[in-house]
Structure 1
Amino acid sequence: MQPYLYICEELSAGGVPDIATSTCFTPALKEPAPFAKSTGCESEVPHEKLTIAQARRGTPAHRPVRVYADGIFDLFHSGHARALMQAKNVFPNTHLIVGVCSDELTHKFKGYTVMTEAERYDALTHCRYVDEVVRDAPWTLTTEFLKKHKIDFVAHDDIPYTSAGSEDVYKHIKEAGMFVATQRTEGISTSDLITRIVRDYDIYVRRNLQRGYTARDLNVGFINDKKYRLQNQVDKMKETVRTVEEKSKHFVYRVEEKSQDLIHKWEEKSREFIGNFLELFGPDGAWHAIQERSGRMLQALSPYSSPRGSPSSSPTRRRSVSPDSSPASASISNSSSPSSLSPPSSPSSPSSRQKRTRASRKAASTYK
C-alpha cells in the first residue's frame, strides 16, 4: 500500500506555508519498515568506517549512519519505543536497523515469550523509528554479521547484559568503539507486565470467562471454572446493588429537593394569603370601610323614630279627652281606636291629676 503524500505547492514569504492558499499538511504516514534481505546490505555506496565524531557532525544524505539495536521485544511497549527513539536520534542522519531474536534462541537463553516471533517481527515494522528489521538476529554479534549489514554503531543501554555465559555480550562492541548508550525507561518492562498478569491472575481469568473464552482455552480446571463463574455472578449482584443504591440516593435527593421547593412555595403562598386576608378584613381593611358606607346609606334612606313617651311624639297619635266623657269611656275609646298607638300618660304626670280632679268635681255636682 502506497503512503499518502502531501505536497506543499505554495510557500509564503519567509518560507512559512500559507494555510489559506497552500496544500501543505503534516508529513506523510510512514510505510511499515521492510525486512532486511538475507544477503545483507547491498548498497552501491562504499562502506567506510565512521568515527563517532564524524557521525555526530552529520553525514551526506546518501550515506546515513547505520545504527543497529537488537532485543526480544516481547509485548512491545513504550519502553521499547523510547529506546528505539534514542537510537534513531543519536546522530543527525541515522538509518536504524532493529534485530529481533527468534523463539528458539529466546527460549534457550531467556525464557518463554508471550508473543510469537512472527508477531514480534511484525510489531517492530510498525514502529515509526525503525527503518529496517532483521529477523532471526544472533544472540551475540559477530564481525561477519556487522560487515554483512554494514553496521556502524550498536545502540543499547549501558547496563552489562549477562547472558550465554558472558558477563556482557556487548563487551567486544564497546572495546571496538562502536557502542552508543541509550537510557532505560523505569517502571515499564516486559517482566513488569508479566508480573502484573501473574499477580492478578484470577481477575484476568474471570474477565476472559465473561468475554466468552472457555475454561479449556484458559487451562482452568472444572472446580476453578465454577468458582470463577460464581465470583462473577456475585460481582454482578454487587454491581446491581450498588447501582440501585446510587439510583435510590439520587431519588431521595430529588424528593428532598422537591419537598423543600414545595415547602418554600407553600410558605410564600401562606404569607400572601394572610396578607390579603388582613388587607381585606383587618381593622383598616376594605370590609370595614364597606360596612361603614352601607350603614350611612341605610341611615340616610330610613326615617328617624323617636323613643316612647317622648314629648316630641306625633300629634296625630295623641287623643284629647273631652271634659264631658268619663274616664272609662275615654279609656274604651282610646283602646278601641285603631290610631291609638301611644301608651297612656303616666299617672304621676300633671295632666292626669288635673283630669281626675275635674272629673270628681263634675260627679259631685251631678249628685247634688
Structure 2
Amino acid sequence: MEELEHTCPLPRTTLIEPAIFTPETSCECRAPHEKLTVDQASHGTPVDRPVRVYADGIFDLFHSGHARALMQAKNLFPNTYLIVGVCSDELTHKYKGFTVMTEDERYEALRHCRYVDEVLRDAPWTLTQDFLEKHKIDFVAHDDIPYSSAGSEDVYKHIKEAEGISTSDLITRIVRDYDVYARRNLQRGYTAKELNVSYINEKKYRLQNQVDRMKEKVRTVEEKSKHFVYRVEEKSHDLIQKWEEKSREFIGNFLELFGPDGTWKQMFQERSGRMIQAFSPRGSPSSSPPRDFSPSRSPSPPSRWAMPRTSPPSSPKGASASISSMSEGDEDEK
C-alpha cells in the first residue's frame, strides 16, 4: 500500500494577510489522520504535519483576555495550527444572550489576531466526535481548562490572575457607564430610537452635552487667557529690563553732563571767563604823556566859565571893572 504524504495546511508565517476562513472540509489531506498523544505533540512530531488545536468561543467585544487565551493555545506545542470556532448570533442568543457585536464583526476580529491560523464560522455549541474527525482536530483548548506542567496545576495561573478580564466585565462597565456612552453616541449622530433612549432621557443627555461643551469652551478660554497673560508677563519683564537699562544709561549721561565735574560745568566756566574778559575795560596808564605845545598852534581859549585869577578887588570900583571886563570878553566871544 502506497504511503501518502501529509498535505495539511501549515501555520501561517506572515502577518500581512488575515487568517483564512475554514472551508466546508477543514483539511483535505488524503493521508490518514492519526490523533497524536500529548507526548508526541510536545516533542514536535510528526515532522510532516502540525498539531491541529481547536479553540472556540463567542469572542464578543474581542479584547486582550481573548487574545491571551488564544496565545496560550497557540503555544501549547512547538508546531501548532490553531483553529478558532466562533458561534453564530442565532446560537449565541439562544443559549447565552444578546451580543454587542454581530457575528460578522466577531468573525473579522478573530481573523486579525496574530495567533489564529483559521477561523471556523457558525461553530457548534457542543463538540461531537464527528465534528472533531471532520476537521481532523488533535486537541481542544479552552481558557477555563488548566494546563498542568512541571508539577504546577496551571502554568498560566499567574498570567490569568494578573491579566484577568472577561466579556462580562466589559458589559458591566458599559451598564455602569451607560449614560456616558448614550450621551456620546447621541453626540455622534445616533437617534434616541436607535439607542432605545426615552424622550426625557434624550433631552437630559442633550442638555448635559451642551453643558459639557460650554465647560470645554470656558476651559479653552482659560487656557488661552493663561497663555496670553504669560506672554504679557514675559513681554513686561523684557520691557522693564530694557527700561531699567535705558534709565541707568540716561542717569549716567545726565550726571556726566550736569554733575559736579561734568562737561556742562567746564563749558560754562570757559564761556563765563571769556565774557568777563570781553566786558572788562582796559586799565588806565599810570602817568599821562606831557602835552606837546607847538609854536604854530596857539593855546585854546579859556573856557567861558573859567574865572581869571585876580586879586580880590579892593573897592567896589574894582569889582565893577572886573565885571565890565567879563562882559566885554563875552561879547567878543559872541
TM-score, scaled relative to structure 1 = 0.67
| Residue 117 of structure 2 corresponds to residue 140 of structure 1 | no
In structure 2, how many angstroms separate the alpha carbons of the residues matched to 1:200 and 1:118? 26
Which structure exhibits the higher relative contact order, with contacts defined as CA atoms closer than 8 Å and separated by 6 or more residues? Answer: 2
In structure 2, how many angstroms separate the alpha carbons of the residues matched to 1:69 and 1:245? 54
Q: Is the 8 A contact 2:84 2:119 kept in 1?
A: yes
Structure-1 residue corresponding to 2:45: 59
Q: Is the 8 A contact 2:19 2:117 kept in 1?
A: yes
**Secondary structure, counterpart of 1:284 in structure 2:** coil
C-alpha displacement of 1:365: 6.2
**Equivalent residue letter for 1:195:** T
C-alpha displacement of 1:86: 2.0
In structure 2, how many angstroms separate the alpha carbons of the residues matched to 1:245 and 1:187? 41
Return 259-268 or 231-240, whichever deviates more: 259-268
Q: Is the 8 A contact 2:107 2:119 kept in 1?
A: yes
Q: Is the 8 A contact 1:156 1:181 kept in 2?
A: no
C-alpha displacement of 1:366: 5.4
Structure-2 residue corresponding to 1:192: 169
Structure-1 residue corresponding to 2:68: 82
In structure 2, how many angstroms separate the alpha carbons of the residues matched to 1:95 and 1:106? 26
In structure 1, how many angstroms separate the alpha carbons of the residues matched to 2:41 and 2:166? 30
In structure 1, how many angstroms separate the alpha carbons of the residues matched to 2:210 and 2:129? 61
Cα 1:216–1:158 shift into 2, 3 Å? closer
Cα 1:37–1:181 shift into 2, 3 Å? farther
Structure-2 residue corresponding to 1:119: 105
Cα 1:194–1:314 shift into 2, 3 Å? farther
Structure-2 residue corresponding to 1:239: 216
Structure-2 residue corresponding to 1:169: none
**Equivalent residue letter for 2:115:** Y
| Residue 262 of structure 2 corresponds to residue 276 of structure 1 | no
In structure 2, how many angstroms separate the alpha carbons of the residues matched to 1:131 and 1:159? 21
Q: Is the 8 A contact 2:15 2:114 kept in 1?
A: no
C-alpha displacement of 1:303: 5.8
**Equivalent residue letter for 2:18:** P
Q: How many residues align?
A: 285
Note the residue ranges of structure 1 that are not aligned, 5 or more in a row: 1-26, 161-172, 175-179, 317-324, 331-358
C-alpha displacement of 1:364: 6.2
Q: Is the 8 A contact 2:52 2:80 kept in 1?
A: yes
**Equivalent residue letter for 1:52:** V
C-alpha displacement of 1:75: 1.0
C-alpha displacement of 1:127: 1.9
Q: Is the 8 A contact 2:86 2:122 kept in 1?
A: yes
**Secondary structure, counterpart of 1:157 in structure 2:** coil
Structure-1 residue corresponding to 2:115: 129
Per-residue Cα deviation, 1:186-217 (whole angstroms, up to 9, x for no partner)? 24321222222211111111111111111111
C-alpha displacement of 1:65: 0.5
Q: Is the 8 A contact 1:68 1:154 kept in 2?
A: yes
In structure 1, how many angstroms separate the alpha carbons of the residues matched to 2:140 and 2:66? 15
Structure-2 residue corresponding to 1:206: 183
**Equivalent residue letter for 1:131:** D
1:220 to 186, 197, 206: 197
Structure-1 residue corresponding to 2:151: none
TM-score, scaled relative to structure 2 = 0.73
RMSD of the alignment, in Å? 3.3
C-alpha displacement of 1:274: 0.9
2:78 to 87, 92, 108: 92
**Equivalent residue letter for 1:291:** F
C-alpha displacement of 1:301: 5.4
C-alpha displacement of 1:119: 2.3
C-alpha displacement of 1:158: 4.2
Q: Is the 8 A contact 2:55 2:85 kept in 1?
A: yes
In structure 2, how many angstroms separate the alpha carbons of the residues matched to 1:216 and 1:278? 85
| Identical pairs, percent | 71
Cα 1:91–1:104 shift into 2, 3 Å? same
**Equivalent residue letter for 2:97:** G
**Secondary structure, counterpart of 2:21 in structure 1:** coil
Q: 1:1-368 maps to which residues of 2 (within 5 A)?
A: 28-158=14-144, 184=160, 186-298=163-275, 304-306=281-283, 315=288, 329=306, 367=314
